[in-house]
């Protein structure tokens, strides 16, 4: 899934909290939710069962 047609100028605000380290060789998966022009997201390392990015939010404008 992509948003904003790969155009970084469409991003008005971007914030996230790094909550745990990612180690070499680990696979990170992203979950995204779109509500109007706001995309919320978090990232997880499933093999360890940890969320590595929390409270992610991007505002498109």
- The arrangement of secondary structure in 4-60, i.e. its CATH architecture, is Roll (3.10)
Give Cα separations from 38 to 21, 27, 51 (angstroms): 26, 25, 21
Report residue 1's pLDDT band, with 50, 70 and 90 as the boundaries. confident
Domain boundaries, the chain: 4-60
Q: pLDDT at residue 3 above 90?
A: no
Q: pLDDT at residue 2 above 90?
A: no
pLDDT one-digit tens code per residue, 15-42 = 999 999 999 999 999 999 999 999 999 9
**Which pTM value belongs to this model?**
0.85
Phi, psi of 28 (to 5 degrees): -105, 130
């Amino acid at each position: 899934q992509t948003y904003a047609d790969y155009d970084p100028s469409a991003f008005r605000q971007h914030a996230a909290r790094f909550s745990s380290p990612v180690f070499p060789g680990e696979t990170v998966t992203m979950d995204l939710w779109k509500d109007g022009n706001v995309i919320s997201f978090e990232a997880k390392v499933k093999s360890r069962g940890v969320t590595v990015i929390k409270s992610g939010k991007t505002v498109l404008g």
